Amino acid sequence: MHKKHQKKIIPLLVLLIGTLGLVSCEKVATVLFGEFDNPVDPDSSKYIPSPKNPSPANKAIVATESPFLEWDNTPNAAKYWVVVSASPSLEKPIVSIKTSNSFYQISQQLQPGTYYWRVCGVNSEGKNGIWSEIMEFTVDPSNKAIAVSAFGCHTLILKADKTLWAMGRNQYGQLGNGTTLNSSVPIQVLSDVKMVSAGYYHTTALKNDGSLWGTGDNEDGALGDGSNDNRTTFKYLTTGVRYVSAGGGCTFIIKTDDSLWATGYNEFGQLGTGDTNNRNTFVQVATGVSTAAAGYYHTMFIKSDGSLWGMGRNNYGQLGDGTTIDRYVPIRIATDVAAVAVGIFHTVFLKKDGTLWSVGRNDVGQLGQGTSDLYTPTQVAVSVIAFSAGKYHTFCIQTDKKLWGTGNNANGQLGDGTTTNRKYFVQILKGVDLVSGGEFHSVAIKNGGVWTFGNNSYGQLGDGTTKDSNVPIKIW
- In degrees and rounded to multiples of 5, residue 180 shows phi and psi of -120, 25
The answer on 160 and 129 residing in a single domain is: no
The answer on 155 and 129 residing in a single domain is: no
**Which pLDDT score, from 0 to 100, does residue 41 have?**
67
User: Considering the domain boundaries, does residue 249 fall inside one?
Assistant: yes
User: Considering the domain boundaries, does residue 3 fall inside one?
Assistant: no
The answer on 159 and 202 residing in a single domain is: yes
**Rounded Cα–Cα distance for residues 245 and 196 (Å):** 8
**Considering only CA atoms, which of 166, 140, 139 is closest in space to residue 153?**
166
HSE (side-chain half, CA atoms, 13 Å) at 475: 30
**Rounded Cα–Cα distance for residues 427 and 102 (Å):** 14
* Containing structural domain, residue 59: 23-141
The answer on 318 and 411 residing in a single domain is: yes
**Which pLDDT score, from 0 to 100, does residue 39 have?**
64
The answer on 270 and 383 residing in a single domain is: yes
Q: What are the contacts of 50-55 at 24+ separation with CB within 8 A?
A: 50/74, 50/120, 50/129, 50/130, 50/131, 50/132, 50/133, 51/77, 51/80, 51/102, 51/119, 51/120, 51/121, 51/132, 54/117, 54/118, 54/119, 54/132, 54/135
**Rounded Cα–Cα distance for residues 435 and 53 (Å):** 23
The answer on 151 and 136 residing in a single domain is: no
User: Considering the domain boundaries, does residue 274 fall inside one?
Assistant: yes
Number of folded domains that form the chain: 2
**Which of 114, 141, 168 represents a domain boundary (last residue)?**
141
Q: Count Cβ atoms within 10 A of the Cβ of residue 23 and give its class: 0-12 exposed, 13-18 middle, 19 or more buried.
A: exposed
Radius of gyration over alpha carbons of the chain, in Å?
A: 26
**Which pLDDT score, from 0 to 100, does residue 43 have?**
66
Q: Count Cβ atoms within 10 A of the Cβ of residue 86 and give its class: 0-12 exposed, 13-18 middle, 19 or more buried.
A: middle
For residue 308, is it left (φ>0), alpha (ψ between -120 and 50) or beta?
beta
**Distance separating the N- and C-terminal Cα atoms of the chain:** 60
User: Considering the domain boundaries, does residue 328 fall inside one?
Assistant: yes
**Which of 141, 171, 195 represents a domain boundary (last residue)?**
141
Q: Count Cβ atoms within 10 A of the Cβ of residue 399 and give its class: 0-12 exposed, 13-18 middle, 19 or more buried.
A: exposed
The answer on 431 and 317 residing in a single domain is: yes
DSSP-derived letter for residue 15 is: H
Give me the CATH number covering residue 50.
Answer: 2.60.40.10
**Which pLDDT score, from 0 to 100, does residue 389 have?**
98
DSSP-derived letter for residue 109 is: P
What is the separation of C-alpha 458 from the centre of its chain, rounded to a whole number of angstroms?
A: 21
**Which pLDDT score, from 0 to 100, does residue 215 have?**
98
Helices of type H across 103-195: none
The answer on 78 and 153 residing in a single domain is: no
* Residues whose CB is less than 8 angstroms from the CB of residue 323 and which lie 6 or more positions away in sequence, other chains included: 314, 317, 375
**Which of 141, 175, 208 represents a domain boundary (last residue)?**
141
User: Considering the domain boundaries, does residue 69 fall inside one?
Assistant: yes
The answer on 193 and 71 residing in a single domain is: no
**Rounded Cα–Cα distance for residues 180 and 174 (Å):** 8
The answer on 164 and 133 residing in a single domain is: no
The residue count of the chain comes to: 476
User: Considering the domain boundaries, does residue 14 fall inside one?
Assistant: no
What is the separation of C-alpha 158 from the centre of its chain, rounded to a whole number of angstroms?
A: 12
The answer on 87 and 188 residing in a single domain is: no
The answer on 175 and 67 residing in a single domain is: no
- Which residues of the chain fall below pLDDT 70? 1-43
The answer to whether the CB of 168 falls within 8 A of the CB of 459 is yes
Give me the CATH number covering residue 331.
Answer: 2.130.10.30
For residue 312, is it left (φ>0), alpha (ψ between -120 and 50) or beta?
left
User: Considering the domain boundaries, does residue 9 fall inside one?
Assistant: no
**Rounded Cα–Cα distance for residues 445 and 276 (Å):** 37
